[in-house]
Structure 1
Amino acid sequence: MQNLELKLPKEAFVNKFIAKAKFYEKANLNAKLQKEFVDKVQRITWMYKLAESTIGISKTETVTEIQIFEIELKELKIPKNVLKIIDKSIPYQILYRFIYSNNVAYGVTLKEHTSVENYYFSDWNTDIAFEFAGIDLEMVYQKLVKAFICDNERKQCSFSEIIDVDNKIKALEAEINVLYNKICKEKQFNRKVEINKVLLEKKAMLNEIRGDLK
């Protein structure tokens, strides 16, 4: 299991507790979402601030700072709804470290300002290597995202290409799941055959994309 020795300058270390109520107030949450915060999150700690002033790497228009948050959970499940609220409240890219008992996982937000496009997560208790070097903070951020979604060979590809391919994979996986459900519910044999034909085509497309990544 990886600890939080991220080899960052001491100037970047914040280690500041953030009250959950701050997110309630800023986001004006309804009772259901407030309850989700209470039921699923034990503690939120702002661990590091990556900025020009703390790590000596210049900002860009789209990435001015990167925050690293540690979230202690009450169950072995990452609460995505809670993350969306945090990300909408904070106009910076965020790297998350999740803790439950002795279990550790990581996540990162694909976002610009407060507009969240996607989340990427590691498996629980799986080592993941982060690199905090680059010509600017945008490059550092792109390297963090790449650590979650591609192997060493793909890391040489452009960031936009990697994200585009990952989005295509996710879309195909979602379509395949819908088609499986349709087959299970369909009672007419002929219709099942038609749906299955489309399913096989989608699976072939997915296998082709994944094959190109090997």
Structure 2
Amino acid sequence: MSALFAYPKQAEFGRVLPKNKIYEHSGANARQKDLFVEQVEQIVWRYKLAPETINLAAKPGVPEIQVFAIQLKTPELHHDVLRCIDGAVQFPIIFELTQGQGAEAKTQVVAAYKRPSEADAASWVSSAYFESGWMPATSERAPLPLALDLGGLYEQLLHQLVPIAPRTQEPLRDLVARTEAVMTKANEVAKAEARLAKEKQFNRKVEINATLRQLKTELEQLSR
């Protein structure tokens, strides 16, 4: 299934979000503001998925789901920009990033798993960001997945972005934690491979190779 969904007309919100309002609500620093200026053309709050707009009940942690469209000035968007927006809006958000115009425009869907903090219910915590590939902006959109409530809908939207398959009966929260561990371990593998490529001494090569094999075994176990 595509990560691009046809959101219901009745959920359309269509409000442009001024960047300065996001700065105010997120406490963005100078570097983050520079990223907004350099990389973001416009942010539009496209859809509000809520009990009153799509007739699905709210769930603890998922009272609503927002869909934000971001038109980019650059081919990529730094995740710190998304983290700023997530910090300013106290609801789960699905981002649709678009680069280019007209027939050349491409879209990517990005989201973090976002939930209220267990330590402070007024605060929200976010996972790493998961993303689809870039696809033509005119790609056909899939119907929204069937769900009993907003919590179930949110899980299905995120499952389209998380890069590894869930284990049998694995809750979304556990899948996200395992995926983050896979991302960390893959980074360790890449660093070990880079060290191995640079190392000249035979003894050190043997040591790094042993470490690399162990890391790859751990990565494979986490990925299954």
Once residues 152 and 204 of structure 1 are traced to their aligned partners in structure 2, the CA distance between those partners, rounded to angstroms, is 18
Higher relative contact order (CA 8 A, sep 6+): 2
Decide whether the 8 Å contact of 2:5 with 2:142 is kept in 1. no
Describe how 1:157-172 pairs up with structure 2 within 5 A: 157-172=170-185
Once residues 25 and 95 of structure 2 are traced to their aligned partners in structure 1, the CA distance between those partners, rounded to angstroms, is 20
Aligned equivalent of 1:104 = 107
Describe how 1:192-203 pairs up with structure 2 within 5 A: 192-203=205-216
Once residues 142 and 70 of structure 2 are traced to their aligned partners in structure 1, the CA distance between those partners, rounded to angstroms, is 19
Question: Which AA in structure 1 matches 2:155?
Answer: Q
Given candidates 123, 133, 136, the residue that maps to 2:133 is 123
Question: Which AA in structure 2 matches 1:71?
Answer: I
What root-mean-square deviation, in Å, do the aligned CA atoms of Structure 1 and Structure 2 show?
A: 2.7
Structure 2 residue matching 1:148: 3-state secondary structure: coil
Change (3 A) 1:167 1:18: same
Query: Relative to structure 2, which stretch is displaced further, 67-76 or 126-135?
Result: 126-135
Instruction: Indicate the percent of aligned positions where both proteins have the same amino acid.
Output: 29
Structure 2 residue matching 1:109: 3-state secondary structure: strand
Higher helix share: 1
Describe how 1:34-73 pairs up with structure 2 within 5 A: 34-73=33-72
Decide whether the 8 Å contact of 1:108 with 1:144 is kept in 2. no
Q: Can you give the 5+ residue segments of structure 1 that lack an aligned partner in the other structure?
A: none
Query: Relative to structure 2, which stretch is displaced further, 144-153 or 96-105?
Result: 144-153
Question: Which AA in structure 2 matches 1:6?
Answer: A
Number of residue pairs the alignment of both structures matches:
209
Decide whether the 8 Å contact of 2:3 with 2:109 is kept in 1. no
Aligned equivalent of 2:120 = none
Aligned equivalent of 1:13 = 12
Decide whether the 8 Å contact of 1:36 with 1:82 is kept in 2. yes
Decide whether the 8 Å contact of 1:70 with 1:99 is kept in 2. yes
Aligned equivalent of 1:33 = 32
Given candidates 155, 158, 173, the residue that maps to 1:145 is 158
